[in-house]
Chain A
Amino acid sequence: MHTFEYFRPGDSAAAVKSAALAHTAQQGADVRFVAGGTTLLDLMKLNVETPTRLIDINRLPLDKIESTADGGLKIGATVRNSDLAHHPRS
């Protein structure tokens, strides 16, 4: 795995600002958000993803599953898959 700079932003605005330093959001981006990490860390181990900066959003308040006015669901970026699977609306 290539090394990287680790950053834990204090709020979503700081996270977005930090991510905006990357020129692309496509595969191989310089800056990556890490939430669960299931896919990203696996690909970093294989050197498929080689971010130079990792933005850890796990402490941000993004773990809510909310119903929207039009009958949909808004799923936060740090909602765990098991919580989603157990959600009454899923």
Chain B
Amino acid sequence: MEGVIPVTLRINGIDRNLQVDPRTTLLDCIRETVALTGTKKGCDHGQCGACTVHVNGRRVNSCLTLALMHDGDEITTIEGIGTPENLHPMQAAFVACDGYQCGYCTSGQIMSAVALLKEPCGPGDADVKELMSGNICRCGAYPNIVSAIQQVRQKA
């Protein structure tokens, strides 16, 4: 293919040697090229947070960054933090607290929430809401999302 650029992304611990069009967003690369579809495309404009993944341990909107900007970077998606048999504590808390309705925003919410655990965040619900303000839930599951995050933080 003409105009493609080689890039190596370490996604969930596996090196992926890819050929990408320079215009490919990290989100499209993860979903279309690598076929990991747990990461969702909501608005594709950085407003909803459904596409949140970790790059070198920090949360980013994968729709607003290009795949080739991440050559050699460590990418973690929802598929990389837990399995159905061995959920990440945040995934288990979302289930326990019913932190979703339709579930479309959930992988982004959980990736954001997992990153939040390592960020300077005050103890209150309002602090969690502020740090989760980049993740929109159209179903309005916010109270249960906050409960799930606070449950994990209290156990930590």
- Chain A residues with a Cβ under 8 A of chain B: 1, 3-6, 34, 36-38, 41-42, 45, 54, 56, 58, 80, 82, 86
A37 with B45, Cβ < 8 A, contacts A1-B23, A3-B21, A6-B22 known: no
B64–A41 CB distance below 8 A: yes
User: What distance in Å separates the Cβ of A19 from its nearest Cβ neighbour in chain B?
Assistant: 17
Q: Roughly how many angstroms separate A47 CA and B64 CA in the complex, as a whole number?
A: 15
For the residues of B in contact with A, the DSSP-based class is loop
Q: Considering the complex of A and B, which 5 residue pairs feature the smallest CB-CB distances, nearest first?
A: A1-B23, A6-B22, A86-B120, A41-B64, A37-B65
- CB-based A-B contact count at 8 angstroms: 39
CB-based contact A41/B5 at 8 Å: no
Given contacts A3-B3, A4-B22, A82-B119, contact A34 B64 (CB under 8 A): no
For A6, A41, A45, A56, which residue has the most chain B Cβ atoms within 10 angstroms?
A41
Residues from chain B with Cβ under 8 Å of A36 in the complex: 64-65
Contact check, A41 vs B3: say whether CB atoms are below 8 A apart. Answer: no
Q: Does A41 contact B25, Cβ atoms closer than 8 Å?
A: yes
A83 to chain B, nearest CB (A): 10
- Inter-chain CA distance A64–B64, complex, in Å, is 22
* Any A CB within 8 A of the CB of B74: no
Cβ-defined partner of B66 (8 Å) among A37, A80, A82: A37
